[in-house]
Amino acid sequence: MSNLVVVGAQWGDEGKGKIIDILSENVDYVVRYQGGNNAGHTVVVGKEKIVLHLVPSGILHQGTVCIIGNGVVIDPEALFAEIDYLDKKGINVNDCLRISDIAHIIFPFHKVLDKLREEKFCETKIGTTGKGIGPCYTDKFSRCGIRVADLLNEDVFKKKLKVNVDEKNAIFSNVYKYKEFSFTEIYEKYLEYACKIKPYVCNCSVVLNEAMSLNKEILFEGAQGTFLDIDHGTYPFVTSSNSTAGGACVGAGIGPTKIDKVIGVVKAYTTRVGEGPFVTEFSQQLMQEIRSKGNEFGATTGRPRRCGWFDAMLVKHAVGVNGIGSIALTKLDVLDTTAVLKICTAYECRGQLYSYFPADTSLLWEAKPIYEELPGWLKPTTGIKQFSKLPENAQKYLSKISELVGARIEMISVGSDRRETIFV
């Protein structure tokens, strides 16, 4: 038996979808343990690109059971749109998709509240996707959220929804001067969703613990990345859940002793979407160049990603926070034509040198990166199947990253297709 967590070790968008897709070929279960449809995993199969938002990436492998865990917040509209999208691509989820009975539900008022808050506090905006993720998690931790199990109990759902709609309407009316929501419209619509979601519902913890007793292979799939984690990220420019490896236990209902290995996924450079400090961010010219080569646009929002040099300070911290044992490095091929490469090894701020990642976000806004420069390889890497066949300077670049972050690189992606991967 082997239980594996795959987690992003930067700000998300590291290419986890491809890595999870490859690894899930040899597992029995894939579990998404946090986040919502604000994140996306892109997988390229042959010439076809498949973008997933809620359904785990293992859905592309026949016979793999895919579970949306209790740590995920679910927008039923988005969920069933994704199921329809997969069905049109010839992927039927009915026999293999499961949904935790204690996952929380996103409602229309969550999405509106998300957008209104960003507009009202525009000077300190987070860069949210506006999909209601944060407000839904807020209700969860305020103990007034509505879970899948509540949705399936008509009497309980009616009472809980009435309280929620009344409260949210008071906020919309008095704080934002926004029109009120109709209780009846939401109630009737979500009763329809209840009927559609019921066949997929399970007790996630029971299913997974039974699977482990039968020595099944389980992969836990994180969304976003370490530095978007609500506790360990660049707060407040973060998501509203624990996107680090520890979130797998809470978000799926298993004990920490059941995790055997954590793989961290990193890009050969660094990207982030939305607001927040970014110490190694490129100049605009280089930003446009790498963004174009790497197709750096959000899978969910289409927003252009900010790009920068590889930040070893960032990834070294992620290795410690997650307990990362090995690394899957993606998009090495994007750097094939870059003559000189830089790796950030420390920060300098206010006359002090930082060799660790500081918690004070104000320091990160001011910090200057200390770089180590390495020569590029100026040769194509796409199509190479063995580490030893990579250009010598590419091997040196990867070895330096491994040395600086304290974890071995076991997988290297040199293209978007499944086959364009080196196993070290």
SS3 at position 307: strand
| Contacts by 382-391, CB closer than 8 A, 24 or more apart | 382/333, 382/336, 382/414, 382/415, 382/420, 383/414, 383/415, 383/420, 384/414, 384/422, 385/422, 386/422, 387/412, 387/422, 387/424, 390/422
Residue of 2, 11, 4 lying closest to 270 (CA atoms)? 11
Among the options 13, 150, 229, 311, which is catalytic? 13
Going by C-beta distance under 8 Å and a sequence separation of 6 or more, which residues neighbour residue 290?
269, 282, 296, 307, 334, 338
Chain position carrying tokens 């970014």? 278
Question: For residues 52 and 77, is the Cβ–Cβ distance under 8 A?
Answer: no
41 annotated active-site: yes
Going by C-beta distance under 8 Å and a sequence separation of 6 or more, which residues neighbour residue 200?
97, 98, 99
232 annotated active-site: no
Among the options 21, 41, 110, 229, which is catalytic? 41
Cis peptide, bond prior to residue 375, ω within 30 of zero = no
State how far the Cα of 182 lies from the Cα of 60, in Å rounded to an integer: 39
* Token pair recorded at residue 334: 């994007």
Terminal-residue alpha carbon distance, the chain: 22
Going by C-beta distance under 8 Å and a sequence separation of 6 or more, which residues neighbour residue 336?
376, 377, 378, 379, 380, 381, 382
* Burial 143-157, CB ≥16 within 10 A → b, else e: eebbbbebbbeeeeb
Read off φ and ψ for residue 328, nearest 5 degrees: -110, 115
* Token pair recorded at residue 233: 């990220």
Q: How far is CA 298 from CA 33, 124, 151, 402, in A?
A: 21, 22, 31, 27
SS3 at position 186: helix
DSSP 200: G
Active site residues: 13, 41
